[in-house]
Amino acid sequence: MRKFLLILSSIFVFVIFTWGDLYLITANRIQQETENMTEVIKIISEKEIENNGYLQLNDVLDNFTDIYVPRYGSWGTASPKLNGGQSGEILYMIDGIPLMDPSGIERSFNISNLNLGSIEKIEIITGSEGSLYGTNSNMGIVNIHTKTFEDNNAELYFSTGSYNYYNTGMNVNKKIENMNIFLSGQYVNTQGYNLALEGEEKDGVYGYNFFGKLKYNKKKYVGTLGFNQLYENLDYDGWNGQAVDADNEQETKKTIYYWKNDFRFTDAFKTNLNFNYTLSRRENYEEGDLNQYEGYYYSGKLKNVYRVNEKVRINFGIDYYNEFAEQKTYFFNNMGKKELDSEEFFVGVFLKKLKNISFNTAFRYISPSKNQWDEKLIYKAGIKKMISVGDNLFSISANFGTGFNYPTLYQMYGMAYDYSSSEFYMAGNPNLKPEENKTFVIKIENSILNNKISLNGSYKFSDYSDYIKAEYDKDFRTSYRNSTRTKTKSYSGKIKVDFFKGDDFKSIIEASYSHNTANNIVEGTNERIAMIPSYEYKFRLKNYYKNYSLILESNTVGDKLASYPKLMIEPYTVVNSSLSYNLNNFFINLKIENLLDLDYKQKETLINPPWGDSYYQVSDTSGYVHYPGYNMPGINFKLNFKYRFEL
């Protein structure tokens, strides 16, 4: 059947009707104008990243209305959630190449140590994008565009701050005739603070990141070779009802290679052929004992584009994905090497029939490798209406799509250790089914008085069948199963006002609010999903004077449920500021976080288990709380410098 589908894929077409110039917006895997897109898409530029003093991709994502970043620790621990979904339902991409980690419980890629110095802009696309991008994109896409300079130049940057934080790096771009070479390197080291409320151990991290790409450009061919090498060494605490000092260390190594090819045979016909390979290895040392997790995957994407005329383009191709994972534990009950692969074909139509109406639809046929899973057809459709009245522009769009998300190899075959009985057990469930979902998104955008005021709102509803969830029994053993049904719902609104604008001074106010509900449906009863806040609202005051900028922001996170210990976390508000100065090729920024010095507080209850020693478990929390039992940083700062020069 699969061989037949591989042949059949050659007649699957991707028909695109476009008008006007094309922009680098990739929500539909093509370049197109933002005004024609029916998806909810947000873009942040390099300049915005600099002015806000962002040093991690987590900082960037936390800026958006619909994204919650529940992080803790000195640098890297985070699991961003979009529109009330789980972190594993966001597909991260770099230059259009998917970033996934088969070695983990979820495939979500740890984005905390990606080098922002190499990034030109970031696109965030909300909604079920599986019919266009494949599995693991039920909630949306984060596409990272790396820099490509036209001139020969270099950038040096250095940061220092609280908790003995240091970050230094360099970007170099060299153009030689038809070739463009871009190299970027970064080193990070911080002593950190103590995650446990008692003790003196600092939970720090250090690591490096190397990124490079070689781009060759001829009239009929553009080829890009890219690589990314990441290393991170993280000190982390043990757990005994809450964080406790322990001699634990996690070492992570990731290597990414990709090769992109664009062949233009004629003005009307071109081919895109892309390959990528990612290897991820994680080693956990816990009180001297070693656990190893390794995974790798490779993928290939072939797309042919035939331009019939100025209004019609025909695309056809195939996406292929293959992953492997292996687990080696100190208790010698290992998960042997496991494999999963998927062949996926898509067809779609994008139509701008009238000047102010856009329409799109897409289908994807998925052929899983496991015989126990059925082949699946997923789809999406969207429409957008625009109305222009003088200096005012209004638009409304709606999207409906279905999604498909494979369980990870660890969720199916992973092993774990029960400390209470000194026995190993199988945490994975080989009978897990892939998640399926239906998602509806509606978006309203209003630009008033020549964009001096903008009002945007969106509503998103997702209905899951066979949602994959982790469960804990009375002995705290972890297992995975499919829930019968899960529903998530979110709505958000944002207002932006340019309330003062002079020759040298500009001031902007931004305010946003989002509300989320996420429930498993158990025997007709709603069971709230943990670690998804019921609401968030954010306020920003941005002031610009000549070469200076001052940004003040307040972020309020609503109540959320913690799974272990099971208790409700109360809302909190954190205030941050960012002051920047930019003069020609020199840039300096001071970022101060938690200006009000909000701290973490908790109450404890003594637990006397039937096995082992007694311990204290968190029974209530207040103040600055991401998760019960983990301390949070007080007021802290980072000072950032960047200098650009010609070679």
The predicted structure's pLDDT at residue 496: 93
* Residue 380 domain boundaries: 2-646
98 pLDDT higher than 50 = yes
pLDDT, tens digit, for every residue of 128-163?
Answer: 777 878 777 777 888 888 887 677 999 999 999 999
Q: Which of 174, 70, 186 is nearest to 119 (CA)?
A: 186
pTM: 0.87
- Residue of higher predicted confidence among 266 and 29: 266
What is d(CA 160, CA 170) in angstroms, rounded to the nearest whole number? 15
Helix, strand, coil share (%) of the chain residues, nearest 5: 5, 60, 30
Work out whether strand 335-354 and strand 357-368 pair parallel, antiparallel, or are unpaired: antiparallel
Burial of 548 (0-12, 13-18, 19+ CB in 10 A): middle
What is d(CA 11, CA 7) in angstroms, rounded to the nearest whole number? 8
pLDDT class for 85, splitting at 50, 70, 90? low
594 pLDDT higher than 90 = yes
The predicted structure's pLDDT at residue 38: 65
The predicted structure's pLDDT at residue 23: 33
Q: Which of 43, 12, 37 is nearest to 22 (CA)?
A: 37
Q: Which of 18, 124, 38, 11 is nearest to 401 (CA)?
A: 38
Asked if 274 and 259 touch (Cβ cutoff 8 Å), the reply is yes
| 411 phi and psi angles, rounded to 5 deg | -60, -25
- Most distant CA atoms of the chain, gap in Å: 76
What is d(CA 63, CA 4) in angstroms, rounded to the nearest whole number? 46
572 pLDDT higher than 90 = yes
353 pLDDT higher than 90 = no
What is d(CA 147, CA 441) in angstroms, rounded to the nearest whole number? 32
Q: Which of 263, 265, 259 is nearest to 277 (CA)?
A: 259
Q: What is the mean pLDDT of residues 198-208?
A: 89
Q: Read out DSSP for 227-269?
A: EEEEEEEEEEEEESSSEEEEEEEEEEEEEEEEEEEEEESSSSE
Per the listing, tokens 């922009």 go with 23
Distances in Å between the Cα of 400 and the Cα atoms of 38, 126, 623 are 10, 12, 39
What is d(CA 12, CA 14) in angstroms, rounded to the nearest whole number? 7
Which tokens belong to 592?
């101060």
Amino acid at 184: S
pLDDT, tens digit, for every residue of 474-488?
Answer: 666 888 888 878 899
Q: Which of 315, 330, 365 is nearest to 30 (CA)?
A: 315
Asked if 516 and 83 touch (Cβ cutoff 8 Å), the reply is yes
The predicted structure's pLDDT at residue 34: 56
Which tokens belong to 429?
């469930």
Nearest-5° Cα angle at 469, 431 to 425: 60
| 341 phi and psi angles, rounded to 5 deg | -140, 160
Average pLDDT, whole number, for the chain? 83
CATH number reported for the structural domain that contains residue 121 in this entry: 2.40.170.20
Work out whether strand 435-448 and strand 81-82 pair parallel, antiparallel, or are unpaired: unpaired
584 pLDDT higher than 50 = yes
- Residue of higher predicted confidence among 469 and 402: 402
The predicted structure's pLDDT at residue 348: 67
Q: Which of 389, 393, 367, 364 is nearest to 377 (CA)?
A: 364
Asked if 215 and 223 touch (Cβ cutoff 8 Å), the reply is yes
What is d(CA 138, CA 144) in angstroms, rounded to the nearest whole number? 18
Q: What is the mean pLDDT of residues 358-387?
A: 84
Asked if 109 and 54 touch (Cβ cutoff 8 Å), the reply is no
Euclidean distance between the first and the last CA atom of the chain, given in angstroms as a whole number: 56
Work out whether strand 335-354 and strand 14-16 pair parallel, antiparallel, or are unpaired: parallel
CB within 8 Å of 193: residues ≥ 6 apart: 74, 163, 202, 203, 631, 633
Q: How many domains does the chain have?
A: 1
Q: Tell me which range, 33-42, 196-205, 342-351, 369-378, is most confidently predicted by mean pLDDT.
A: 196-205
Which tokens belong to 196?
């446990």
Q: What is the mean pLDDT of residues 591-605?
A: 93
Q: Which of 258, 186, 185 is nearest to 215 (CA)?
A: 258
The residues that bridge with 324 in the sheet, in sequence order, are: 296, 339
What is d(CA 24, CA 211) in angstroms, rounded to the nearest whole number? 22
